[in-house]
Structures are given as C-alpha cells and as structure tokens.
Amino acid sequence: MLQIVPETPAVHAAAIETLFDATFGPGHFAKTAERLREFSRSLPEISRVAVLDGEVIGVCRVWPLTVGEGRTRALFYGPVAVAPSHQGSRLGLSITGEALEAGEKAGWPAAILIGAPAYFGEIGFIVTPKHQLSFPGPQDQARVMVRNLAGDASQLAGRVTAA
C-alpha cells in the first residue's frame, strides 16, 4: 500500500539519497538549487516521502529560505524525485501537494520551486516575472515558480538565500 508520510531522517535519508542519484545522476550537486540547500537543513516535518511496501519511491524535500532585503520567509520545494519505475503516475504532484499543505498549515507564507511549469502549474505554481527572484548562480527564469501558502507569494522579490 502506498503511503505519503513526513520524512523521518533516521529512516528515510539513505533511501532518499539513493533515489536522487537514480533520478538525477551525480550531476545534480552542480545545480544552482544545490547552492541554496548546502547551507541549510531541510524541514522533515514538511517534506514528504512516498513509501510503497517499505521502499521509498518518491520524495519532495522542503527547505527554509529568505527572499530580498526584507528577508521574507519562504519555503523552497525540491528536489522532487520519483523512482523511474513509478514516473508518469503523477506521484510527484501528489507528494508535492501534501508537502504544500504541510507548509501552509505550519504558517509559511509562500513556496518557491524550480521546475516544469506545465507540470507544477497543475498544483498552483506560477512562473515569476523575469528577474523577480535571483539565485546564487545561473537559473533558467522560465522555470522559477511561486505559489501562495499562508501568505502572498507575489510579494516575493529579490535575492533568494538559505535561511
């Protein structure tokens, strides 16, 4: 039976790293998004893991961020990964959706995600205007998206940094 649960690092961490390697390959550490994650800690209580018969088959990790000179709080959603054997099932949207609900319930104002607009647009993410958000490295602005949680994501503007 498939379950989507909060991440328990002691139980899930090794399997999640194996899933990231299988999904993205070793090059995923070179991405700009990793610059945000390397100086932060994920939020296991908001992150979600898909477990099928005891095996981790999907994950949406969530990280605290600040944006702009006012250091507005936001959550960074990703990486979102689904085991190759379960891709195409829309599981990534289900996992991310549950993580979004957790972020909203915890009172976080907004979510940021770097991904495919056609896919993540289905759960309320919208592409930001070009250069509204800047990252610690090159980023395809057409893939930078935000979504309201307990606040207004349209207010996010400026440099995105680890919390």
DSSP notation for 16-45: HHHHHHHHH-GGGGGSHHHHHHTTS---TT
- For residue 29, the model assigns a pLDDT of 52
Least Cα distance to 85 among 115, 57, 114 occurs for: 57
Residue 33 confidence (pLDDT): 65
Q: Given this model, what pLDDT does residue 152 score? A: 95
Give residue 141's pLDDT.
Answer: 92
For 48-89, what is each residue's pLDDT tens digit?
A: 999 999 999 999 999 999 999 989 999 999 899 999 999 999
Residue 148 clears pLDDT 60, i.e. is over it? yes
Per-residue pLDDT at 42? 92
Q: Tell me the pLDDT of the chain averaged across its residues.
A: 92
More confident residue, 148 or 140: 148
Residue 82 is part of a domain; what is its CATH number?
A: 3.40.630.30
Report whether pLDDT(34) > 80.
no
Kindly report the pTM of this predicted structure: 0.93
- CA-closest candidate to residue 111, choices 79, 58, 73, 138: 73
Reported confidence tier of residue 110, pLDDT bands at 50, 70, 90: very high
pLDDT value at 14 more than 90: yes
Judge residue 41's burial from the number of C-beta atoms within 10 Å of its C-beta, 0-12 exposed, 13-18 middle, 19 or more buried: exposed
pLDDT at residue number 27: 61
Residue 32 binned pLDDT confidence (cut-offs 50, 70, 90): low
What confidence tier does 38 reach under pLDDT thresholds 50, 70, 90?
confident
Residue indicated by tokens 């996010």:
156
Task: State the average pLDDT over residues 128-156.
Answer: 93
Could you give the number of structural domains in the chain? 1
What three-state secondary structure class fits 59?
Answer: strand
For residue 98, the enclosing domain spans: 2-162
